[in-house]
Structure 1
Amino acid sequence: MSNPYPVQPSIEKMKEDAARQKNNSGTQEKRELAGEGDYQDKHLDNVAHNPNALLENPLQGISHERLEAMGRAFAREKGLGEYEEEFAKGAQVAQDPLAFESLTMLNDEDRNVLRREITHKWHQPWQLYFLTICCSMAAAVQGMDESVTNGANLFWAPQFGLNTAEGAPNASTNEWYLGLVNGAPYLACAVLGCWLTAPLNTWLGRRGTIFLTATISALTCIWSACTNSTWHLFAARFVLGLGIGPKSATVPVYAAETAPPIIRGALVMQWQVWTAFGIMLGTVASLAFYKVPDPTSAAITGLNWRLMLGSAALPAFFVMAQVYFCPESPRWLIGRGRYGDAYKSLCRLRHTKLQAARDLFLINALLEEEANIATGKSAIVELFTVARNRRGALGAGIVMFMQQCCGINVIAYYSSTIFRQAGFDEITALGATLGFGALNFVMAAPAVWTIDTFGRRFLLLLTFPLMAIFLLMTGMAFFIPEGNARIAVVALGIYLHCMAYSPGEGPVPFVYSAEAFPLYVRDVGMSFATATTWVFNFIVALTFPRLLSAFTRQGAFGWYAGWNVVGTFLVLFFVPETKGLSLEELDQVFSVPTKIHAAYHLKGLGYNFRKYILRQRLPPRKPLYSWEDTTYARD
């Protein structure tokens, strides 16, 4: 793949100036802390061994006067000369966004805006929240696409001759067919849909891809409602996957590329929050249409389950109507050389032209540096041959894999079946499933505040052990003789598992995957991440009906409990933290070799045991990342 982000002469000049610069506000303090010779040696060594090191801050070491000149030159070069003053100020602020108080070029109004950006992080332009609503509706589409089949399974399977009752003829074969139809969209996502993300985004942009995939989702939901056989329904749901796959890869990236870093995690995680809301809506639709009778005046059989499947088209129409009123991703526009449009987009997403100029200048500088690590090979090859990209793919792949193997979707897709086996009747089973969907939505709310405060790793490491315990509790409950006690414990275990999932493995995977890749491979990287989650989603949907019979209910839930234990250690050793940094600065995080990251946290297990369990007084550990250590220069 040719380099889509050619390095600008201004950035090359910037590097030369940085090397010569002796007195400036950024490096002087560092030299006083570490010693000038030590600082230069460390910096040169770091760059030599780590080509991404400059991405931590490519503007470091440049005088304010030079930054002002660079900002003005950038504005003129990109056809934004009328905003030259804003870019002159923005270039200075971009060097260190928290050091604006000392910049003499800024006036009091500028400083007040930048202060408020920190002290009132949720005070954002309505256009940003309008975009977030659009992304949330797209997530609700997916949630309904996933969950309406839960109630419909009770009706279409018997109508099409798939009797899965214990002792029924061909019951085991019918269980495989039921799983295959339920998993058809996720099979399509894994083998084709997700891999259409990159070409669709290249041709149509983020908004165009969302519009097209919402259209596919709406039409195939209506098609599913009109099917007349198992294989006809399989075909409709398979095509549905062509809408789910690219949408699930594009929407989180779109949100991540438009959100300010300070609340990026909270906004991107709305994908999962509103997917949970869509799952709840799907259950509401199942209950609403449960008792709809077949009309006597028309040859329609199974009107209730057809309305259930078709109802998922409704939120898709809202997305189609809204998406083109949202601004396009500034990063996507920069990648196409449309700097004027990118600045207009940022002006809609930020309060002032100064903030928009700052972000555009910094994004461009970081993307130009990022482009230098490209090898010129195809994006899919660079995803696994460039070490930084490979580490991002490893982290994203783990959290996406675990989203399916943590056990949540066996409940989302088959909770009605599980509750019926626990002793509920059909309508009560659907009511209990609605409670599951409501909890999934409500309990994601804490993560809105915690995901950017405590971080992604903390939420995962806290909730994986809890999910393991609650799944074991659910499985073991089936040893209780049939009756109210079994029903109560099964329902409690499922609800507690959902409460642990919703603030952790629920929102984190799509947030993390949207952050993990540099822009030049982001579409392909997100395709890989979402293909990973959908292929295992398909496996879960396909195998669980048979797993319940082969492993027994206790063994099936114990199987997924074991995977939660595995997930705890995978996250501990191989998933770096991503909170609080810009998408481009995360290159520095993923530049730490995997073996160093794993070894650091392996040693941390012993350290934390001695400190917090044995209550020993130990000196603080040296942080893994340089910017976390105030004793050393940030290089």
Structure 2
Amino acid sequence: MTSRAPDGVASVLPEGTLIITPPHIQQIFSSSLKSARVTSAAPALCPAPRKTPKVHSSKHQSLWQFAVQYCTRLAKRLTTVSAMDQSKAGAALVTPAVVENEHASKQTVLGHSGAIWETRQTYGPTGIKGLLASPYVAACAAFSALGGLLFGYDQGVVSVILVMPQFLDRIDRVADGASGSGFWKGLLTAMIELGALIGALNQGWIADKYSRKYSIVIAVVIFTVGSVLQTGAVDYAMLTVARFIGGIGIGMLSMVAPLYISEISPPEIRGTLLVLEEFSIVLGIVIAYWITFGTRFMAGEWSWRLPFFLQLIPGFVLGAGILFLPFSPRWLVSKGRNAEALSSLSKLRGVGEDDERVLLEWYDIQTEVRLQQEVLQERHPSLFEGAMNSAKKARLEVVAWLDLFKSGCRKRTHAACGIMWFQQFVGINALIYYSPTLFASMGQEYEMQLVLSGVLNVTQLVGVTSSIWTMDRFGRKPLLLWGAAFMFISHFIISILVGLYSDNWPAHRTAGWVSVAFLFIYMLAFGASWGPVPWAYPAEVFPSSLRAKGVGMSTATNWFTNFIIGLITPPLLNTNRHFGAYVFFAIWCLLALLWTIKFIKETKGRSLEQMDAVFGDNLGEKEVVRRQRIEREVIDEASSTGVDFRTRS
């Protein structure tokens, strides 16, 4: 059947182009699209009217304009691919249809109604240009990333304090020569990891119940209590408990900050904004290191109390300032506050509420939330029968955690927790905690060990800064692959040099400095890849209903492996003339490379609601039909409440 195409469609379609026309679009357009015979099709995002609509009011006229322009853009973006490429086409919401044409044999034509990616203009460019084009959301993300600064500062502040004579005079249990000093020093260092593990696991339900931004306030309060106790500690027991309490707050912040950033960011610069979390962590480590490097020359106990006290300042700023930031639109939709979500989304994107891109993203968010709620009710019907009481809520919380390991989410949980596992096992915190010892194993003198350790942290900061540009330009997976390759090469060469020459460094000074150089190459590669990507990736991949818990689980994995690395590194440095540690981490870098090739999916440019397509989850025929139904319900309800559907041509 051939007839005139709607205005704006025929002009962009060459002769013989194969087009799929969803049934309700055929109802809207009385004429068919040019040169196409449709044998099967599926509904797209446009609502399916029960009959051909009559345009008799301004609201219906507005809805009509929205439908015409939406479907025109959809027609422009239809992609013709071979049947064997279906799995790679990323069509999440429109099922394929087989059509025949005189110019081609059977072809599969896929359209993607993924409301953000395929059917709208982007909000702006990627990378640094994208940050400049979206100043408000960039400012919100940068401010919430202060949680990362606290995280990094509290991690880095003890490295020099533990060797200060002024500190050891007060806390003599960790002084060299004291009975069991190695154990007590390790316990003091590890308490922050233990507290952070607990904090990260508990922040999920807090962020779901009280909102992302209020959960940040709660975390800051707990962190502040811990910091005050650390500043005023009078003995080892008090300082250990204070580190544990502060660790709980740190763990909560390390989980919720990237979660909040991911949910407020547009897809084009989400990766760039999530880099701000890792940038703040490393910046905190650098600031803490050089502050303690300077205060060690002060007389008296303020040489170590002052660094603990100074971390209160960014904590107060974050706790007070976060109250002025907008709520996450995705959290608002999960609570049924859809109108507020649209307003928040509009403010974050810097455009009006009637902007077509905002409306489509708003629909996508609502569709995803409703879909996940329906799936949850189907999986656990008994928990939704009758009135919801506290016992059912507790059981629902437990089963929601278990859902992370069920079909539809298992691959994402594996990827999110795995990437955090490898982030630690490639050896980064071994360098941060024990870098002076590592430089000593390369023949460097004491003062040079401390200076090089500080410069090493600055090198990581340089690497992280580069990812602000590369994350959304090249994608997550390429950065991980190249980073793992360079880290493996660095560890491998260092292990050879240390193994050959560590018994007589004075006679092999060149080999010692070559080892130092490759340690800096390692840190630069890590900062540009395995530093920022693991903090960004988990916040992107989980469905809305499980995102907080998924990020909490992955963050807890990070802290657990952080704890393990802190325990196993000293024995590794004391074996096989010190090269055992480098061999160990080289093997893990190689494993990280192979694992990334197999299990990591690229998320660059995709909306949070499109991760089903990225991971191939919930794409069966039943789920496609369910999503299409929910989409129609969402748009029908929006139009019935008077939402303005006006769009820009």
Please report the TM-score for the alignment, with normalisation by the length of structure 1: 0.74
What is the one-letter code of the residue matched to 2:335?
A: R
2:45 to 42, 56, 59: 59
The answer as to 2:193 corresponding to 1:186 is yes
Match for residue 150 of structure 2?
A: 141
The alignment partner of 2:607 has SS state of coil
- Identify if the C-alpha distance between structure 1 residues 91 and 258 changes in structure 2 by more than 3 Å, giving closer, same or farther: farther
Match for residue 181 of structure 2?
A: 174
Larger radius of gyration: 2
Cα deviation per residue 1:308-362 (whole Å; 9 max; x = unaligned)?
3333222222212321121110000111111222122112111211143332223
Q: Distance in 2 between matches of 1:423 and 1:439?
A: 21
What is the one-letter code of the residue matched to 1:379?
A: A
- Identify if the C-alpha distance between structure 1 residues 421 and 382 changes in structure 2 by more than 3 Å, giving closer, same or farther: same
- Identify if the C-alpha distance between structure 1 residues 589 and 229 changes in structure 2 by more than 3 Å, giving closer, same or farther: same
Deviation at 1:535, TM superposition (A): 0.3
Unaligned runs of 5+ in 1: 1-16, 44-56, 74-83, 103-112, 295-301, 594-635
Unaligned runs of 5+ in 2: 1-20, 79-119, 381-395, 619-649
Q: Distance in 1 between matches of 2:264 and 2:66?
A: 18
Partners of 2:229 and 2:238 within 8 A in 1? no
1:419 to 430, 436, 439: 439
Deviation at 1:238, TM superposition (A): 1.1
Q: How does 1:17-166 map to 2 (within 5 A)?
A: 21-22=25-26, 36-37=38-39, 40=41, 59=45, 114=121, 117=124, 121-155=130-164, 156=167, 160-161=171-172
Match for residue 482 of structure 1?
A: 505
Q: Distance in 1 between matches of 2:227 and 2:579?
A: 35
2:232 to 217, 226, 229: 226
1:533 to 558, 561, 569: 558
What is the one-letter code of the residue matched to 2:551?
A: M
- Identify if the C-alpha distance between structure 1 residues 551 and 62 changes in structure 2 by more than 3 Å, giving closer, same or farther: farther
Partners of 1:59 and 1:95 within 8 A in 2? no
Q: Distance in 1 between matches of 2:588 and 2:539?
A: 24
Partners of 1:93 and 1:358 within 8 A in 2? no
Q: Distance in 1 between matches of 2:144 and 2:201?
A: 20
Deviation at 1:431, TM superposition (A): 2.0
Deviation at 1:169, TM superposition (A): 7.1
Deviation at 1:424, TM superposition (A): 4.2
The answer as to 2:439 corresponding to 1:453 is no
- Identify if the C-alpha distance between structure 1 residues 311 and 426 changes in structure 2 by more than 3 Å, giving closer, same or farther: farther
- Identify if the C-alpha distance between structure 1 residues 205 and 96 changes in structure 2 by more than 3 Å, giving closer, same or farther: farther
- Identify if the C-alpha distance between structure 1 residues 350 and 148 changes in structure 2 by more than 3 Å, giving closer, same or farther: same
- Identify if the C-alpha distance between structure 1 residues 405 and 455 changes in structure 2 by more than 3 Å, giving closer, same or farther: same
What is the one-letter code of the residue matched to 1:330?
A: P
Match for residue 578 of structure 1?
A: 603
Match for residue 364 of structure 2?
A: 362
Q: Distance in 1 between matches of 2:370 and 2:26?
A: 24
Match for residue 249 of structure 1?
A: 255
Deviation at 1:291, TM superposition (A): 0.4
Q: Distance in 1 between matches of 2:305 and 2:549?
A: 36
Q: Distance in 1 between matches of 2:249 and 2:52?
A: 48
Partners of 1:475 and 1:554 within 8 A in 2? yes
What is the one-letter code of the residue matched to 2:220?
A: A
Deviation at 1:147, TM superposition (A): 0.8
Deviation at 1:20, TM superposition (A): 5.2
- Identify if the C-alpha distance between structure 1 residues 364 and 546 changes in structure 2 by more than 3 Å, giving closer, same or farther: same
Q: Distance in 1 between matches of 2:597 and 2:54?
A: 43
Q: Distance in 2 between matches of 1:325 and 1:87?
A: 35
1:239 to 239, 245, 266: 245
- Identify if the C-alpha distance between structure 1 residues 467 and 21 changes in structure 2 by more than 3 Å, giving closer, same or farther: same
What is the one-letter code of the residue matched to 1:371?
A: Q
Match for residue 320 of structure 2?
A: 321
The answer as to 2:269 corresponding to 1:263 is yes
Between stretches 515-524 and 93-102, larger displacement belongs to: 93-102
Q: Distance in 2 between matches of 1:505 and 1:486?
A: 27
Deviation at 1:97, TM superposition (A): 7.7
The alignment partner of 2:327 has SS state of coil
Deviation at 1:62, TM superposition (A): 5.7
Q: Distance in 2 between matches of 1:101 and 1:222?
A: 58
The alignment partner of 1:392 has SS state of helix
Match for residue 404 of structure 2?
A: 383
What is the one-letter code of the residue matched to 1:433?
A: S
Deviation at 1:395, TM superposition (A): 0.5
Deviation at 1:224, TM superposition (A): 1.6
- Identify if the C-alpha distance between structure 1 residues 325 and 542 changes in structure 2 by more than 3 Å, giving closer, same or farther: same
Deviation at 1:306, TM superposition (A): 2.4
Calculate percent identity across the aligned residue pairs.
24
Q: Distance in 2 between matches of 1:127 and 1:382?
A: 35
Higher relative contact order (CA 8 A, sep 6+): 1
Q: Distance in 2 between matches of 1:123 and 1:357?
A: 23
- Identify if the C-alpha distance between structure 1 residues 90 and 352 changes in structure 2 by more than 3 Å, giving closer, same or farther: farther
Paired residues, number? 524
Partners of 1:471 and 1:557 within 8 A in 2? yes
Deviation at 1:289, TM superposition (A): 0.8
Partners of 1:68 and 1:91 within 8 A in 2? no
Cα deviation per residue 1:472-502 (whole Å; 9 max; x = unaligned)?
3334443342344465234322211101101
What is the one-letter code of the residue matched to 1:183?
A: A
What is the one-letter code of the residue matched to 1:585?
A: Q
Q: Distance in 1 between matches of 2:234 and 2:325?
A: 39
Deviation at 1:507, TM superposition (A): 0.6
Q: Distance in 2 between matches of 1:563 and 1:262?
A: 32
Deviation at 1:419, TM superposition (A): 2.9
Match for residue 303 of structure 2?
A: 304
Q: Distance in 2 between matches of 1:384 and 1:92?
A: 42
Partners of 1:144 and 1:279 within 8 A in 2? yes
Q: Distance in 2 between matches of 1:125 and 1:67?
A: 38
2:544 to 519, 541, 564: 519
Match for residue 344 of structure 1?
A: 343
What is the one-letter code of the residue matched to 1:250?
A: V
- Identify if the C-alpha distance between structure 1 residues 239 and 90 changes in structure 2 by more than 3 Å, giving closer, same or farther: farther
The alignment partner of 1:208 has SS state of helix
**RMSD, matched Cα:** 3.6
Deviation at 1:364, TM superposition (A): 1.4
Partners of 2:442 and 2:512 within 8 A in 1? yes
1:203 to 191, 201, 209: 209
What is the one-letter code of the residue matched to 1:126?
A: P
Q: How does 1:396-415 map to 2 (within 5 A)?
A: 396-415=416-435
Partners of 2:22 and 2:44 within 8 A in 1? no
The alignment partner of 1:372 has SS state of helix
Q: Distance in 1 between matches of 2:47 and 2:35?
A: 11
- Identify if the C-alpha distance between structure 1 residues 125 and 463 changes in structure 2 by more than 3 Å, giving closer, same or farther: closer
- Identify if the C-alpha distance between structure 1 residues 257 and 487 changes in structure 2 by more than 3 Å, giving closer, same or farther: same
Cα deviation per residue 1:356-384 (whole Å; 9 max; x = unaligned)?
33322232123323433332362112111
Deviation at 1:275, TM superposition (A): 1.0
Q: Distance in 2 between matches of 1:442 and 1:164?
A: 34
Q: Distance in 2 between matches of 1:487 and 1:230?
A: 38
Match for residue 289 of structure 2?
A: 283
Between stretches 535-544 and 389-398, larger displacement belongs to: 535-544
- Identify if the C-alpha distance between structure 1 residues 544 and 212 changes in structure 2 by more than 3 Å, giving closer, same or farther: same
Partners of 2:368 and 2:543 within 8 A in 1? no
- Identify if the C-alpha distance between structure 1 residues 565 and 491 changes in structure 2 by more than 3 Å, giving closer, same or farther: same
Q: Distance in 2 between matches of 1:250 and 1:391?
A: 22
Q: Distance in 2 between matches of 1:441 and 1:326?
A: 27
Q: Distance in 2 between matches of 1:528 and 1:24?
A: 47
Q: Distance in 2 between matches of 1:338 and 1:540?
A: 43
